[in-house]
Structure 1
Amino acid sequence: MLSKLPVLYSLQHCPYAMRARIAIFRSKQAVLIRAIKLNNKPPEMLALSTKGTVPMLVLSNGTVIEESLDIMLQVLKESDPDHLLTAQGQLPLIEIISIIEEFEQHFFVAVEAYKCAKRYQETNIVECRQACEVYLQKLEDRLSKHAFLTSEREGLLDIALMPFVRQFSKVERQWYQQSPYPKLRAWLNSYLQSPMFTKVMAKHELWVDGHRDILFGDIKK
């Protein structure tokens, strides 16, 4: 029954919500997705969490998970058919999580500053971009050694960081297309052109408009 499925509160273009949806999709599990707008959050969501941020996953037993990385780990530990947590040759999971947390603390913040500099036509946009490039170079170096960020097979680090690299790439598109990160561009492009990405980025009716259950996931009939 649909009522027994976990519920994901999500925002279409939020990179944190995006990576949670990718992990759910890749785990081949089903959830009920509730699309929201930040300026009109459903009372049902706020009743579960005063934090009121997305993504938020409510498990069938009522447990609420409010951090995107925790959601990714939760669903992939339950079902990981593509071995994203244990791809042969990749770093131990604890080290991968440490790298993700480093990017969250520094790269993600730098990308936000870069976006703001572009939006408000600030004079420090080059400096903001260069702060991001420190981390882009780390990713380019990794991709110079193998096809994905930690090994020859896709892993957790790839899907955890991809939405934020995508966000960076959209700030100054022309500069990005000519940037000295060819392997990173090819890696990102392979995601953006994938059927998986199209499904993960599908637009859903807002929960507050209809309160209808919408099934989400790569579910095989």
Structure 2
Amino acid sequence: MVVALPILYSLQNCPYAMRARLVILLAQQPVLLRPITMKNKPAEMLAVSPKGTVPVLILRLPADIDNKIKEKQQVIDESLDIMLWALQRNDPENLLYSERADALPEMLKIIEENDKQFKPSLEKYKHAKRFHEKTEESFRLACEPFIQRLEQRLTQHEFLMGAAPSLLDYALLPFVRQFSKANRHLFLQGPYSHLQHWLNHHVQSHLYARAMFKYPLWLDSHEEFVFGE
């Protein structure tokens, strides 16, 4: 049987792609990285995931050369599903907090709140700040309850679930980073001392630097890069 590495289509600064790359690195799951841009989406990606968003992971199932069984593919095109796929294969840092039966449901609930409630408010806040709209403050305030709950969690322990990083930390990191950058001055002056420390810890890490290394675009050369080893 021949097993080919999975293919990962990714966008450099997309928060969903960022969190997938972070956890792929932590799970030590090598993939063939294909960096893209949203302005020029590869036909190969759209053929397997017509919705046209990243990340997209293509699992290439074993092919039997002797019996001439063609390679089969499985497509995972939601970032959280990619993260869980990687951690279910290998979780050396115990990001799933496996000793706590209630940990994963709790993390998934907060991630859903981030994705479905906080993220839309964050996008409106970023847009209003960028274009100097009068709605900027109201959209910032709409983000505050979620941010304050994260701050409160971090008053109890160093990371969002406890004394060590978890799936939740890496799932939320790119979005908290975006919030901090929307109005840097307000974030630094705001009541977020624990969140500021948490964010700095992550973005200054070697892991973050590896996840954010900028590879050449795949469509420019069709060169794939082994990522996650």
TM value normalised by structure 2: 0.91
1:88, distance to aligned residue in structure 2 (A) = 4.9
| Alignment deviations for residues 151-209 of structure 1 (CA, whole Å, 9 cap, x no partner) | 11111110000110001111111111111010000000000100110110011111101
* Structure ID, larger Rg: 2
Three-state SS of the structure 1 residue aligned to 2:224 is coil
1:151 equivalenced with 2:162 (yes/no): yes
Residue 64 in 1 paired to residue 70 in 2? no
Q: Letter of the aligned partner of 1:38 in structure 2? A: M
1:182 aligns with 2:193: yes
Name which of structure 1's ranges 48-57 and 82-91 shifts more when overlaid on structure 2.
Answer: 82-91
Shift of 1:63: 0.5
- Residue of structure 2 in register with 1:53 after alignment: 53
Corresponding position of 1:95: 106
Amino acid at match of 1:23: V
| Number of aligned residues | 217
Cα gap change, 1:146 to 1:89, in 2 (>3 Å): farther
1:110 and 2:91 aligned? no
Give the one of 166, 178, 197 matched to 2:208: 197
Alignment of 1:127-146 (within 5 A): 127-146=138-157
Q: What secondary structure is seen at the aligned counterpart in 1 of 2:146?
A: helix
Tell me the SS of whatever aligns to 2:112: helix
Contact 1:85 1:156 in 2 (8 A): yes
Q: Deviations over 1:120-158 (max 9, x none)?
A: 110011111111111110001100111111111111110
Question: Relative to structure 1, is the Cα distance of residues 91 and 177 closer, same or farther in structure 2, using a 3 angstrom cutoff?
Answer: farther
The residue type equivalent to 2:198 in the other structure is: W
In the TM superposition, residue 95 of structure 1 has moved relative to its aligned partner by 2.1
Name which of structure 1's ranges 147-156 and 17-26 shifts more when overlaid on structure 2.
Answer: 147-156
The answer for unaligned runs of 5 or more in structure 1 is none
Amino acid at match of 1:16: Y
8 Å CA contact retained: 1:26, 1:81: yes
Q: Which amino acid aligns with 1:182?
A: S
Runs of 4+ deviating beyond 2 Å = 87-92
TM-score by length of structure 1 reads 0.95
Q: Does the alignment pair 1:212 with 2:223?
A: yes
What is the CA RMSD across the aligned residues, in angstroms? 1.5
Map of 2:33 onto structure 1: 33
Distance 1:116 1:182, change over 3 A: same
1:59 aligned counterpart, secondary structure: strand
CA distance in structure 2 between the aligned counterparts of 1:156 and 1:104, rounded to whole angstroms? 14
Q: After alignment, is 87-96 or 72-81 more displaced? A: 87-96
Against the structure 1 CA distance between its residues 154 and 87, is the aligned structure 2 distance closer, same or farther, given a 3 Å change threshold? farther
Q: Return the offset for 1:212.
A: 0.9
Identical amino acids, percent of aligned pairs: 49
Report the Cα distance in structure 1 between the residues aligned to 2:189 and 2:155, rounded to whole angstroms: 18
Deviations for 1:47-70, whole angstroms, at most 9, x for unmatched residues?
111111100100122100010001
Secondary structure of the structure 2 residue equivalent to 1:170: helix
Deviates more, 1:101-110 or 1:184-193: 101-110
- Which amino acid counterpart does residue 111 of structure 1 have in structure 2? L
